[in-house]
Structure formats: C-alpha cells, structure tokens
Amino acid sequence: MSLFKARDWWSTVLGEKEEFDQGCLCLADVDNSGNGQDKIIVGSFMGYLRIFNPHSVKAGGGPQAEDLLLEVHLRDPVLQVEVGKFVSGTEMLHLAVLHSRKLCVYSVSGTLGNVEHGNQYQIKLMYEHHLQRTACNMTYGPFGGIKGRDLICIQSMDGMLMVFEQESYAFGRFLPGSLLPGPLAYSPRTDSFITVSSCRQVESYKYQVLAFATDADKKQEMEQQKLGSGKRLVVDWTLNIGEQALDICIIPLNQSASSVFVLGERNFFCLKDNGQIRFMKKLDCSPSCFLPYCSVSEGTINTLIGNHNHMLHIYQDVTLKWATQLPHVPIAVRVGCLHDLKGVIVTLSDDGHLQCSYLGTDPSLFQAPKVESRELNYDELDVELKELQKIIKDVKSQGVWPLTEQEDDLKVSAAVSSALDSVSQATSVETGADSVPSITVKITLQNRVVLQKVRLSIYVQPPLQLTCDQFTFDFTVPDMTSIVVFSVYLKRSYTPSELEGNAVVSYSRPTGIPRVIQCKFRLPLKLICLPGQPSKTASHKLTIDTNKSPVSLLGLFPDFANPSDDDQVNVMGFRLLGGSRVTLLASRTSQRYRIQSEQFEDLWLITNELILRLQEHFEKQGTKDFACSFSGCVPLQEYFDLIDHHFELRINGEKLEELLSERAVQFRAIQRRLLTRFRDKTPAPLQHLDTLLDGTYKQVIALADAVEENQDRLLQSFAGLKSATHLLILLIRLWQRLSADQTAILEAAFLPLQEDTQELGWEETVDAAIAHLLKTCLSKSSKEQALNLSSQLNKPKDTSRLKKHITLLCDRLAKGGRLCVSTDAAAPQAMVMPGGCTPIPESDLEERSLDDSTELFTNHKHLMSEPPVPEVSALQGVLE
C-alpha cells in the first residue's frame, strides 16, 4: 500500500456496464442554491443523467440515498455536460447537455420537503437544437465580449464549428484542413477558440474572424474560399507540438494575461496568449486527464494530472509537489467545494467509479518484530560458502542447456509412407494432363514434462504443397504421445530443388526458456517422377565415376523398373511430372554412370538419388571404402545461362512494377480530373477523359497480369537455379573430394536464401559470400585479406562480376585451395588436384575476360570431353 494514497471522502459506482468519457463530469451550483456548494453532474453514454450532492461517509458506511438528487434517462448518449448562463433574459445557471445529434438546455430546480430525504429535484427543458452534423465536443463563454450570458460552440466530427446564441443558431464555419476533431476551448481574454488539429499543432481562431467569414454550410464552399471568393478563414497563430492532444484548458493568471494548457500523449504544455511556450513537462507515464488551477503562490499554476498507473500527480508549474494513488484510472478530474469542504478532488473512471477524495497520508500501523540477536559462527559460514561455490561451479561446468537426448523435454520423429496414397490428396494442381500422386507423412511428438502451446510447422520446397502445415498441441501431463498426419504433393509443373522436408517444433520449457527442435524427412523420388522411355540423345550429360563394379539399375531403382524391358538392365528412363525426361546409363565394366537430359537443372535430383542409392547399396553389403568422383569439366557455362535467365526476370519484374506504378498514378490523376468535372455546377465537356480513363484501366490490368506472370516465372527460375546450384556443389565436392565441413561452407555461400525478392536477391548475396571466401581462406596473399568488403548489398547491373568470382573460386579450388571459416588460413596455390582443370596464371587472372575464364571449366554443352565409354556407346546403339 502506498503511503501517499488519496483519502476517500465519498465514492459510488454509477449504473451497470455504463461508459463515460472526459466530458461527462461537471461540478457547479446547478440548482442556483446560492450557498456556494457545488453539485456533481454526471452523464453517461447510455443516456443517463445524474446529479449528486454527496455527504461525508461514516466509517464502515456507504453512500446514502439522499446523496443522489436526480437521475433521469435521456435516451440519447450524453457526450458532454456543462453549466453556464445559457438562457436569455436571466443570469441563472442552466445545464447544457450535448448529444450526438442534439443540444439540450435544462433548468434544474428543487422543492423542499418536510424532511431531508423529502426534497425533490426536477429538470425542465428550456430549449433544444437539432444538429445537422454529428457532434464531437463543445465549449462555451461570452463570445464577442458580451456581458451576462454565455454562448455555446459545438465542434462536429467533420471539423465544423457551430455557434449558438442561446435559443438561436448563429453561424457555422469549417476549420481549414480539418481531418479529425480535437479538444476545443475558449479564451475569454483574447476572444478566440483554441484547438489541436490532426496535423498535431495548436491553432487559435479569433471569434471575430469566424463571425465575419463567409458562411460555410458545405465543405465545397471552403474550396471556393481558397480560390478567392468570399472572406477567407485565417488562423490567428499555430504551434506544432508533435503529438496528439487529449485536452485543452484556459487559466487566467490576471486581468492582462492567461495561460493555455495542452495535455499531450507524452508531455503537457503551458502556452502564452500568443502561442509562445511558457514551459513544458515530459511525463513519465501515459496521462489520462488533467486539470490546471491557480496556485496560492503568486504567478504559478498547479496542475492535476491523472495517468493510467492509477496515480494522480500534482505539479506546480513543472515541479512535482505531490503524488497520490487512486483505486481506478481517472478519465476526468474536477476540484470543487462540497459541504464547506474546499478543494475536494472529484474523479471519474471510464466504467463509472465516481470518487471524492482529498490529499493526505495513510500511515501503516504495522511494526516489524525485533529480530533475536545471535552470535555468528564464522567457521560454519565459511564451510557453507565453500559448498555453495562448489555447487555453482558444477552448474557452470554442466552448462545451461541439456546435453543428452535423455534430458530433452520433447522428442520428435518423422516417418514417410513407403507407398503413395491410394486416393491422391492433391487439389488445384497445375501440372498438365498427368495425374499427381500424394504421399502421407506422419510426425510423432512425445513429451517428458508438461508443455503448453507447442507449435509444429512443416516446410517443403516449392512447388511441393502440404495439405496442412501448422499444428498446435498442449501436453497437460508427462509422457503423452501426439501424432499428426498430412500429405505432400506437387502443385506446379516444375521440379523442386530438394525432396527433403523439415519439421520445426517451437515451445517454451517450464523455466521459460524458448526451445526449437528440428526433424528432417526425405520424400521419395516417385512423388515427382514417373518411369519413362530412355532417350538416345540429350543436350546435357554428366558422368560419375566410382571405385566399385557397376550395379544393375533395376536393383537400384526397383520402383521405376519396367517389366517389359528386362533385357535393358543398364538403361533406365525417368519422366518428371511436367514433361522433362532424364536417362540413366550404367557401364558394365568401366565403373561409370551417365546421366543425361535436355534440361541442365533436371540432372540434379536423379544424380543425387543415384549417389544416395549406391551408398545405401554398398553399406548393406558391408563395403566401407565406396567413393564417387567426377573427372569431367565443371559445367559453368550452363550454370551461367541459368543465372542470366534468373537475373533477366528480376530486371523485367522491376521494370514492370515501375511501369505499373506510373500507370496507377496516371489513373488516379484522370479520376481526380473527372471527379472535378462531375462536381462542377456548370457542366463542361469531358474532352475524352473517359476514353483515356478506360484505356489506362486496361493498361493497369494488363501490367498487373504481366507482373503476376513474371513473378510465377521468377519462382520457377529460382527453383531451377537452386537445383543447378545443388548439382554444381555436388560436382565440385566429387571433383575436389571436399570434406563435409568444406561442403557446408560451399552450400552456405551458394544457397544463402530460401526466398528471392527484389529487395534482396540471390545474385548480390552469393557474390558477397564468394568475394568473402576469395579474400579470406582462398586469398593469394595477406594483401588480399586486408581488403575491406562493402557492407551494403545492392542489385548489380549485370552478372559478369558474379560469374567471374565463381570462375575464380573454381580455379583456386583446383590449385589446392582449402575452404575454412578461419581468415588466417592462406590457401596453397602450387598444387593441382588430379583430374582438375588447367591452372590460370595468377598475374593476369583479374584482367582476363569472362569468356576466356569460363572456357577452362566448361565445354559448351559437351560435358563428356573425356574418352567415351565403350559399353555406354554400345548401349546407345542398342537403343537405336
């Protein structure tokens, strides 16, 4: 409990489930009793109007029935209540109630009874004004310097000020540039209205300027004023405060000066009459309401500021004088005189907690008991300290994270069905005439402890599609097992770059530490591939060498075996869903396998599948020294063609988006022109603007379709580029016999992105990664290591630099370069690996043209530059 707590003098709760705002509270002698005692007037959004005359609450008691003088239901929501001299011919106080579409002025009167609780109060409607616009708030005062009466100014939701001279409507003016209404106040000394616009600046308008400006009942007339017809409404002064305002209040310092207080979202400001800042105060908490009032000290002002932390702060200028705790968040605060008790603070919350309190302290009567003194045994404390230090040391040595699988809170496993689904789950596929199969994957989760909100996400490479990719679990007891089943199928008519899927589980341990578990699974080749007829000719060919005798392809690929071709055990054809064909040939004596296809990127999946199945075959036979190698030329030219095609699609997409943006701007400009013509009171010819609008609309639609089509082609090209990149990495690994760590570095450099965007593309990212390798672990000298790389990734103008860096990377690997993450390892450049490429002289490498460099690694669609295999040639003759 805070010591500085507001002392509760009287409090109550208004209604049930009613809502209130800052304009719903007012304190005044509304019944004109003449004894100087204020009454509390409260209106609600439910339409209830209540008037209270509270009495001090006795200890243990609550509010009395006679505290409520009047309660009436006005049907319409009450936005604001004010008390002033609103009726002509009298200076008695009357109550003004603002509804959304109506302003009502009432007189409040009471009839004395024989006893105190017999007093009767009633309200009488003096007049009302029906509003043409939805009201937001209002202010009142002696506009124009009149004596003995108050005028009312209402601000509408669309920024119009409506002035009422008591029973009659005077005029209405639109504030220039108004978008959203802000708080509104009237300054009697300067005879001006002060508000905060949606531009976050305080604006002051003279009443005389408002009165003599051209009458504006429509916003179109404001546009005519800007063109010079009529007297223009000009702002007196403005001040940019840089934030939205919650409330405005005017406090007179003396007869010659007054202050304008503005409560912002993070600061409150005190301004002079001319808009200059007297002082401002940055607030520590988000404010909810405020009330400035004159201080006892000469020339200073006190301000009550309530915030959303249930606190009420009292400032003298910018100095915090007192802070008190409230039981609720105040949205309106007033200070009044209740039953001869001056300075009572009245607060109202948005849910109807009304409280009258005063400042004071609430001292605690609790006294801490005396602690029994005892002598300390320092020897025992030393022993205990050593034991604790040993425990801390053991915990540090073990680490924070569990190191064994037995300590895992959750176990995840994945199982792929051995057979395709009998009924395919593929929907909305775009693969042509082929029937698309699907396969079922089962993910099993088993928890060790209680876990809440465990989330499982499944990822596969496009264009593979999942029937469901997000799951959520709640393990309420230990050792539960949850199983989810989903299907995977090919959605588009091109080949994915990988058949590997990833299941990612994210959760928080009971200690609050977040954890992520991954589980990978491999999809079968038959999901995207069908048996096909072998092809005798192909544009792209690769030869993989092994150190073991060739294996029958029918034994390696039993799921693609054709019973009618039992005599061709060393030839197998594959047809990818979408139309491309791949042929696999095995030599009988020379331990070689050849893969050929019309599309370079389609060689990847079959080549990778062949190597995986060969490794699995020899592992089952117990052979441990099986190895594959590649002795041909690295197919860089074919790879560079795919890079150029992908980059060209990126450039085309950027051009199409710029052209679409230009056409959209043109379309909106034509619309504005037409709208101006249609609004004109004197019709003018359209001058073929409608024809131009229709033509521009068709261009916008055509360009949008072109952007979408280019995006689809870019996705397909990126998938093909990733497949070709995987193939290139595989060939370099087999060619240079790279280790697993070196292959991982190569994959991180060539495959940094899962998605390709205009802002961050594959070309600039890979170029930066390869340049880093060339200047660190593959550098020729320490001078290259000292060069600084650019920290910004920008889209290149072309791909020549990237292709040059890739060629240089292959050359340095051919000379014995070693990939590592350490920048201190200088790669030796004198040794040439067996079967490698012809070395490039280091002195003129950087100056050589790209064509000369790439010729060293590619043979332009004749990748089989080594002597032909007799058995393979014979097999091709059989196919003829």
| Mean of pLDDT values over 608-623 | 90
Higher pLDDT, 748 or 253: 748
Q: Evaluate if residue 845 carries a pLDDT over 60.
A: no
What percent of the chain lies above the pLDDT cut of 70?
Answer: 84
Cis peptide before 496 (omega within 30 of 0): no
Q: Evaluate if residue 571 carries a pLDDT over 70.
A: yes
- Which residues sit opposite 357 in a β-bridge? 8, 345
pLDDT at 78: 95
pLDDT at 502: 94
Q: Evaluate if residue 667 carries a pLDDT over 50.
A: yes
pLDDT at 148: 87
Phi and psi based region of residue 503 (left: phi greater than 0; alpha: psi -120 to 50; beta: remaining): beta
Answering whether pTM is above 0.85, one says no
Q: Evaluate if residue 117 carries a pLDDT over 80.
A: no
How long a stretch of residues is the chain?
A: 880
Beta strand 311-316 with 319-325 is: antiparallel
Burial letters for 442-455: b for 16+ Cβ neighbours within 10 Å, e otherwise?
ebebbbeeebeebe
Q: Evaluate if residue 278 carries a pLDDT over 60.
A: yes
Higher pLDDT, 94 or 821: 94
Comparing 22-31, 140-149, 307-316, 788-797, the range with the smallest average pLDDT is 788-797
pLDDT at 522: 93
pLDDT in tens, 387-423: 999 888 877 765 555 444 445 788 999 999 989 988 9
Contact assessment for residue 645 and residue 717, using Cβ atoms and an 8 Å cutoff: yes
pLDDT at 113: 64
| Mean of pLDDT values over 616-626 | 88
- Quickly tell me which residue has 């991954």 as its tokens: 518
Contact assessment for residue 77 and residue 49, using Cβ atoms and an 8 Å cutoff: no
Q: With the C-alpha atoms ordered 279, 284, 289, 291, is the resulting torsion angle positive or negative?
A: negative
Higher pLDDT, 15 or 415: 415
pLDDT at 118: 64
Q: Give first-to-last CA distance, the chain, whole Å.
A: 96
Higher pLDDT, 360 or 152: 152
pLDDT at 61: 65
Which of 303-307, 444-448, 792-796: highest mean pLDDT?
303-307
Q: Evaluate if residue 308 carries a pLDDT over 50.
A: yes
Please, which pLDDT band fits residue 678 given cuts at 50, 70 and 90? Answer: confident
pLDDT in tens, 743-780: 999 999 998 877 777 778 889 999 999 998 888 888 87
Q: How far apart are CA 447 and CA 408, in angstroms?
A: 8
- What phi and psi, each to the nearest 5 degrees, are found at residue 252? -75, 125
Residues 6+ apart with CB under 8 A from 28: 38, 39, 41, 83, 93
Please, which pLDDT band fits residue 840 given cuts at 50, 70 and 90? Answer: very low
Higher pLDDT, 63 or 452: 452
Please, which pLDDT band fits residue 849 given cuts at 50, 70 and 90? Answer: very low
Q: What Cα–Cα distance (Å) separates residue 863 from each residue in 288, 559, 589, 810, 854?
A: 76, 29, 21, 16, 13
Q: Angle at which helices 762-775 and 800-814 pack, to 10 degrees?
A: 40
Comparing 2-6, 680-684, 868-872, the range with the smallest average pLDDT is 868-872
Comparing 13-22, 114-123, 298-307, the range with the smallest average pLDDT is 114-123
| Mean of pLDDT values over 142-159 | 92
pLDDT in tens, 711-729: 999 999 999 999 999 999 9
pLDDT in tens, 40-94: 999 999 999 999 998 887 765 667 778 888 999 998 999 999 999 999 988 899 9
In the numeric block, which tokens belong to residue 204?
Answer: 């002051």
pLDDT at 628: 92
pLDDT at 878: 32
pLDDT at 110: 83
Q: Evaluate if residue 703 carries a pLDDT over 90.
A: yes
The helix (run of H) or strand (run of E) holding residue 68 is: strand 68-73
Q: How far apart are CA 588 and CA 874, in angstroms?
A: 10
| Mean of pLDDT values over 316-337 | 91
Please, which pLDDT band fits residue 823 given cuts at 50, 70 and 90? Answer: very low
Q: Evaluate if residue 841 carries a pLDDT over 80.
A: no
